[in-house]
C-alpha cells in the first residue's frame, strides 16, 4: 500500500486499539505517561483535532499527535506501522499536522528525537527539520509517570 492509497483524518471513537498497537510497536519501553491509555484521553480534552490517523483500507497504519500552545507547535507520537513504513505515510501525517498548526497561527514546530535514533532524525532532516542546540529538560509531576 502506497501513500496514494492512504488518507489522513482526525482521531475518532473506535480508533483507540489501532493507535495503541502502533504506539506499542513504535515506542517500546516508553514510560506509562506516554502510553495510549493516558495520552489519548488527555489529548482528546485539548485540541483533539491535532490527533491524526493515517488509514488505508479501513486499517489504522499511522498516527501523529501535535499541539500548539499559542507560541510554538510540537509534534509528538508520530508513528507508522512496520508494514506501512517507507511509503510516504509519515511524511503525509507530518504535512497535515503542519498544515493544521499553521492554520492555528503556529509559526514554528518543535519535536524531540532520542539522540540514539539516527534514522528518525534523518527522516525529519529530509522534511526540513534541523537539530537545534538545546538541553531538553523534563519533570514528571503526575503519579503515573
H-state helical runs in the chain: 16-26, 36-45, 89-103, 118-126
Query: Hey, what CATH class is 3-126 in?
Result: alpha beta
User: What is the model's pLDDT at position 40?
Assistant: 95
User: What is the model's pLDDT at position 136?
Assistant: 86
Contact 97, 11 (CB under 8 A): no
* pLDDT confidence band for 144 (50 / 70 / 90): low
Sort 18 into a burial class: Cβ within 10 Å, 0-12 / 13-18 / 19+: buried
The whole-number average pLDDT for the span 80-97 is 94
| pLDDT per residue as tens digits for the range 28-53 | 888 888 899 999 999 999 999 999 99
Integer Cα distance of 124 and 129 in angstroms: 5
CA R_g for the chain? 15
| pLDDT per residue as tens digits for the range 70-81 | 999 999 999 999
Amino acid at each position: 500500500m502506497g501513500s496514494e492509497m492512504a488518507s489522513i483524518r482526525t482521531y475518532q471513537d473506535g480508533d483507540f486499539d489501532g493507535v495503541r498497537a502502533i504506539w506499542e510497536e513504535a515506542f517500546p519501553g516508553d514510560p506509562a505517561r506516554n502510553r495510549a491509555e493516558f495520552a489519548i484521553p488527555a489529548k482528546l480534552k485539548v485540541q483533539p483535532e491535532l490527533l491524526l490517523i493515517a488509514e488505508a483500507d479501513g486499517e489504522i497504519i499511522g498516527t501523529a499527535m501535535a499541539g500548539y500552545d499559542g507560541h510554538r507547535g510540537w509534534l509528538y507520537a508520530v508513528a507508522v506501522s512496520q508494514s506501512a513504513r517507507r511509503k510516504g505515510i509519515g511524511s503525509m501525517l507530518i504535512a497535515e499536522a503542519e498544515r493544521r498548526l499553521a492554520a492555528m497561527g503556529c509559526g514554528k514546530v518543535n519535536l524531540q528525537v532520542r539522540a540514539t535514533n539516527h534514522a528518525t532524525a534523518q527522516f525529519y532532516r529530509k522534511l526540513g527539520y534541523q537539530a537545534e542546540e538545546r538541553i531538553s529538560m523534563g519533570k514528571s509531576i503526575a503519579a503515573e509517570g
